[in-house]
Amino acid sequence: MRYPVFFAAALALAVVQPVLAQSAPARVSDAALACPKQDVAADLPGKLIDAMLSGATRTPEGKALFERFEAAAAQCAEKHSVPASLRGTYAAYAFDLVMRDELARRLRAAKVPVEALDEALGYGPGRPNPVIQRVEQSHVDKMTAAARKRGYDLEKAPEEVLRYVGMYVGAQSGLVEDLAALR
């Protein structure tokens, strides 16, 4: 007999939460969120991806790439007054953002329908936007089916493209988690 009370409370919470979210000030501005796309050198994300895929992240050259990225992210954080308590999350956000965009560019160049991957996993406006800690077979099956519907067979994709797909999913998932903490 308590169910009507539960449903009424759930309905009230569902109505109030969006109002509370709208009235709370953003912790990080839209300009700060856009900054990495504008201020990180255009060639840097690609070089970082290449270093990660080749295992060169621990070399002096690889470390220098990450230092360049960290400096650009720190400059954005400073320029847009990102609170000190959020700077680590902001740096992770900046990394995930530029990596996701570069990986999407590489996937599109390989004719992979990126929008199908997002749709299959629930990424994008009006979708659940899950945080995926580990790509499971069910995720692979959904992406494979969605790509196939759009004329691309992931099962025949080169290994490099499959690595891009895995990294893309990681970057998308990271963005969801980062944005939740920054907003």
Predicted confidence (pLDDT) per residue in 106-131, tens digit: 999 999 999 999 999 999 999 999 99
Predicted confidence (pLDDT) per residue in 15-60, tens digit: 333 333 343 445 899 999 999 999 999 999 999 999 999 999 999 9
User: What was the pLDDT predicted at 26?
Assistant: 57
Confidence of residue 6 (pLDDT cuts 50, 70, 90): very low
Has residue 96 got a pLDDT over 80?
A: yes
User: What was the pLDDT predicted at 179?
Assistant: 95
Distance CA 65, CA 62 (A): 5
Predicted confidence (pLDDT) per residue in 56-73, tens digit: 999 999 999 999 999 999
Residues 6+ apart with CB under 8 A from 43: none
| Single pTM value for the model | 0.83
Confidence of residue 155 (pLDDT cuts 50, 70, 90): very high
